[in-house]
């Protein structure tokens, strides 16, 4: 029996804590729980909590981490540079995430997201539930229970959850003369409540509406209440830009509530094609059709069947037990086991020292970086390095000669590099010029995939450096089929307000999100719709700012500072 240490969840009783509860429950009797120092396996429901474990112990134990979001999203987080190097096996929660991990060359198993069927199930007496919560009895109820702001800023839409897309859909429905009622629940719904009131769209908010500040601790509903609200709804709408789940897709499905979602995460695995939408116009057409003739009713049973087959606690338990049964024969596990036998590690002492350092000292503050770039080889790279230099100057980090600092920033290398190496690349950068020890920083996910296609397999992160522009244009920017070199063109188009039309299924979605439209083979209809909806698409686009890049670089230096002695 293997000794396993489980790292914490989120400590808030929300999604990650529920993941941890289900993981532990699934493996009860199959493994022994242990402290980090004595563990054969360190198992994390959330990879960023691995920073709480001493690096020596992560090198010693076999590290498994679940991914609560798809890895293309993680590429945009500085800490993922470390995550790629310490995790021995990723657990993807959707087919989408599994495919993305594979495209990045990271070891992965697919064990789908699950929910407890004892917590979410259909309740037949909808009339009684609507009466209990003050929901109009005969209304067509459109529900959404996602947070729409962050706790630090209750006035700006949460980028991931895209509540502004939901408002755009509801506005179009209202303008078309449709009668409906919106059901909101959960904390941090300040922004959307204000928007719906301004648009004079009727809604019910289940929670305390008299809390002007962060209501996270007040308005989190228990799962019994959520189960009732799903059962009281006609359709649950998921407008997110990315998701690992979301859990709401499974919860609504388990309650036999109709769902309409952007094609992402587990939602894409469970839902029927007719329950997926890619634009405001498409969502409005589906909802109007469902209001008229209940067209989404045909999706309820097949979606329920998919959830019940693969996304319950029992399904997760079976998959995890199989994984742990096969683990001792895995070559990567055996390699680490051999290293543990051959090396001496002061386990408890290492963990205590690591914990104290995190609490009392923190990472080493980086005041200077080496600068290693030969200009004139690639104009786009020169522009990128100029922007990086301006960021370093702005945050008070001095640039010194190559090889003279613990961290070295590299573009087109002019000298051999030493220490911790960050290398910035752009489309067209030759992969043979990437230094072996470098963590690569690219402008988009598509650029990373290009490097993988060229055979380069080191650690990677994404930090867009977008040139500011005041020129606003409506004509859509078209990315042709098979064109993988347009990441900078896409950023330039979005910065100038142009909708982007791009091939469906391509990584350009990670730049465009709701600021454009995709096409399968012929772009003409998408181009026409993008022209017609240019103003709306511009309002849904989110262009990375220079301040975003500054925060990324600052955080990246903090992460890299943890490796400095």
What is the per-residue pLDDT across 395-432, written as a single tens digit (0 to 9) for each? 999 999 998 999 999 999 999 998 899 999 999 999 99
Write 554-559 long-range contacts (CB < 8 A, 24+).
554/395, 555/78, 555/79, 556/78, 556/81, 556/422, 556/441, 556/461, 556/463, 557/366, 557/369, 557/397, 557/407, 558/78, 558/363, 558/366, 559/78, 559/79, 559/81, 559/82, 559/363
- Pick the closest to residue 461 from 487, 495, 432, 423 (CA basis): 423
For residue 178, the model assigns a pLDDT of 96
Q: How confident is the model at residue 29 (pLDDT cuts 50, 70, 90)?
A: very high
Contact 333, 380 (CB under 8 A): no
For residue 150, the model assigns a pLDDT of 85
How much is the average pLDDT of 376-404? 96
Nearest-5° Cα angle at 44, 74 to 24: 140
- 121 is a domain residue: no
For residue 335, the model assigns a pLDDT of 87
- Pick the closest to residue 364 from 561, 72, 123, 513 (CA basis): 561
Kindly report the CATH number assigned to the domain that includes residue 440.
Answer: 3.40.50
Asked whether the bond before 246 is cis by omega within 30 degrees of 0, the reply is yes
Please name the residues in contact with 306: beta carbons below 8 A apart, sequence gap of 6 or more: 253, 269, 270
DSSP characters for 269-335? HHS-GGGB-SSHHHHHHHHHHHHHH-GGGGGHHHHHHHHHHHSBHHHHHHHHHHHHHHGGG-HHHHH
DSSP code at position 177: T
Q: How confident is the model at residue 151 (pLDDT cuts 50, 70, 90)?
A: confident
Asked if pLDDT for residue 248 goes beyond 70, the answer is yes
How much is the average pLDDT of 6-22? 80
Neighbour order of strands in the sheet with 477-478: 477-478, 500-503, 516-519
How much is the average pLDDT of 52-57? 89
Q: Which two tokens stand for residue 219?
A: 């308005």
If asked whether residues 226 and 258 sit together in one domain, one would say yes
- 120 is a domain residue: no
How much is the average pLDDT of 19-46? 92
How much is the average pLDDT of 513-521? 96
If asked whether residues 424 and 552 sit together in one domain, one would say yes
- 212 is a domain residue: yes
Q: For the chain, what is the mean pLDDT? A: 92
Please name the residues in contact with 154: beta carbons below 8 A apart, sequence gap of 6 or more: 188, 190, 191, 213, 214
- 119 is a domain residue: no
- 338 is a domain residue: yes
For residue 95, the model assigns a pLDDT of 96
If asked whether residues 280 and 221 sit together in one domain, one would say yes
CA distance linking residue 470 with residue 472, whole number of Å: 6
Contact 549, 386 (CB under 8 A): no
If asked whether residues 375 and 352 sit together in one domain, one would say no
For residue 126, the model assigns a pLDDT of 95
For residue 346, the model assigns a pLDDT of 59
If asked whether residues 346 and 443 sit together in one domain, one would say no
For residue 341, the model assigns a pLDDT of 67
Asked if pLDDT for residue 457 goes beyond 70, the answer is yes
Number of domains within the chain: 4
CA distance linking residue 182 with residue 139, whole number of Å: 9
Asked if pLDDT for residue 496 goes beyond 70, the answer is yes
If asked whether residues 532 and 481 sit together in one domain, one would say yes
Could you list the residue range(s) of the whole structural domain that residue 538 is in?
477-543
How much is the average pLDDT of 65-88? 93
Q: How confident is the model at residue 539 (pLDDT cuts 50, 70, 90)?
A: very high
Q: What is the CA radius of gyration of the chain?
A: 25
* φ, ψ (nearest 5 deg) of residue 478: -100, 125
Q: How confident is the model at residue 350 (pLDDT cuts 50, 70, 90)?
A: low
CA distance linking residue 196 with residue 366, whole number of Å: 46
For residue 12, the model assigns a pLDDT of 63
Asked if pLDDT for residue 531 goes beyond 80, the answer is yes
% of the chain surpassing 90 pLDDT: 81
CA distance linking residue 361 with residue 109, whole number of Å: 36
Asked if pLDDT for residue 359 goes beyond 60, the answer is no
Asked if pLDDT for residue 352 goes beyond 60, the answer is no
If asked whether residues 537 and 557 sit together in one domain, one would say no
- 164 is a domain residue: yes
- 293 is a domain residue: yes
If asked whether residues 458 and 482 sit together in one domain, one would say no
- 430 is a domain residue: yes
- Of 42-56, 147-161, 327-341, the poorest mean pLDDT is in 327-341
Give the global pTM.
0.92
If asked whether residues 416 and 303 sit together in one domain, one would say no
Beta strands in 107-225 (DSSP E): 108-110, 141-144, 181-185, 203-206
Q: How far is CA 191 from CA 147, 197, 205, 515, in A?
A: 10, 10, 12, 20
Kindly report the CATH number assigned to the domain that includes residue 243.
Answer: 3.40.50.2000
If asked whether residues 240 and 291 sit together in one domain, one would say yes
- Residue that has been written with the tokens 């080496």 in this structure: 370
If asked whether residues 152 and 260 sit together in one domain, one would say yes
How much is the average pLDDT of 127-138? 97
Q: How confident is the model at residue 468 (pLDDT cuts 50, 70, 90)?
A: confident
Q: How confident is the model at residue 363 (pLDDT cuts 50, 70, 90)?
A: low
Contact 466, 484 (CB under 8 A): no
CA distance linking residue 393 with residue 405, whole number of Å: 16
- Of 45-59, 85-99, 443-457, 462-476, the poorest mean pLDDT is in 462-476
% of the chain surpassing 70 pLDDT: 94
If asked whether residues 507 and 439 sit together in one domain, one would say no
Asked if pLDDT for residue 356 goes beyond 70, the answer is no
Question: For residue 464, with 0-12 CB atoms within 10 Å meaning exposed, 13-18 middle and 19 or more buried, which class applies?
Answer: buried
CA distance linking residue 300 with residue 376, whole number of Å: 59
């Amino acid at each position: 029996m293997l000794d396993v240490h489980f790292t914490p969840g989120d400590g808030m009783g929300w999604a990650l804590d529920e993941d941890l509860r289900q993981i532990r429950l699934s493996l009860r009797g199959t493994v022994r729980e242990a402290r980090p120092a004595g563990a054969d396996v360190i198992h994390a429901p959330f990879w960023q909590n691995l920073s709480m474990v001493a690096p020596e112990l992560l090198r010693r134990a076999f590290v498994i981490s679940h991914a609560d979001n798809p890895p293309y999203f993680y590429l945009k987080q500085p800490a993922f540079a470390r995550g790629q190097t310490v995790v021995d096996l990723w657990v993807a929660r959707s087919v989408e995430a599994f495919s993305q991990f594979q495209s990045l060359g990271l070891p992965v198993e697919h064990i789908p997201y699950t929910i407890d069927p004892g917590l979410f199930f259909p309740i037949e007496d909808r009339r009684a539930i609507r009466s209990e919560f003050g929901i109009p009895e005969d209304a067509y109820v459109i529900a959404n229970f996602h947070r729409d702001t962050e706790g630090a800023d209750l006035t700006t839409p949460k980028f991931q959850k895209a509540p502004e897309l939901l408002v755009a859909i509801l506005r179009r429905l209202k303008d078309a003369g449709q009668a409906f009622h919106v059901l909101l629940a959960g904390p941090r719904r300040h922004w959307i409540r204000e928007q719906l009131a301004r648009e004079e769209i009727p809604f019910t908010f289940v929670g305390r509406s008299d809390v002007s500040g962060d209501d996270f601790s007040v308005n989190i509903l228990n799962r019994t209440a959520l189960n009732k609200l799903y059962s009281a709804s006609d359709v649950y709408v998921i407008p997110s830009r990315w998701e690992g789940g979301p859990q709401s897709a499974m919860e609504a499905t388990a309650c036999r509530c109709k769902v309409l979602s952007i094609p992402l995460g587990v939602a894409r695995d469970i839902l029927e094609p007719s329950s997926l939408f890619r634009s405001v116009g498409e969502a409005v057409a589906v909802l109007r059709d469902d209001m008229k003739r209940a067209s989404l009713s045909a999706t309820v049973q097949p979606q329920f069947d998919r959830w019940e087959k693969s996304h319950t606690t029992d399904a997760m338990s079976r998959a995890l037990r199989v994984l742990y049964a096969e683990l001792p024969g895995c070559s990567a596990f055996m390699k680490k086991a051999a290293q543990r036998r051959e090396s001496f590690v002061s386990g408890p002492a290492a963990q205590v020292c690591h914990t104290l350092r995190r609490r009392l000292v923190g990472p080493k503050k980086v005041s200077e970086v080496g600068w290693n770039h030969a200009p004139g080889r690639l104009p786009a790279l020169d522009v990128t390095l100029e922007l990086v230099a301006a960021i370093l100057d702005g945050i008070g980090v001095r640039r010194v000669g190559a090889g003279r600092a613990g961290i070295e920033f590299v573009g087109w290398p002019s000298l051999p590099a030493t220490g911790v190496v960050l290398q910035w690349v752009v489309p067209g950068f030759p992969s043979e010029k990437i230094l072996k020890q470098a963590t690569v920083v690219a402008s988009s996910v598509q650029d990373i995939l290009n490097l993988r296609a060229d055979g380069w397999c080191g650690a990677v992160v994404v930090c867009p450096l977008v040139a500011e522009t005041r020129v606003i244009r409506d004509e859509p920017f078209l990315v042709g089929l098979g064109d993988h070199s347009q990441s900078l063109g896409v950023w330039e188009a979005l910065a100038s307000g142009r909708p982007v039309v791009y091939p469906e299924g391509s990584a350009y979605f990670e730049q465009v999100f709701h600021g454009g439209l995709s096409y399968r083979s012929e772009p003409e209809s998408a181009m026409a719709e993008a022209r017609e909806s240019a103003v709306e698409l511009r309002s849904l686009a989110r262009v990375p700012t220079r301040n975003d890049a500054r925060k990324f670089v600052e955080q990246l230096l903090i992460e890299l500072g943890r490796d400095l002695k």
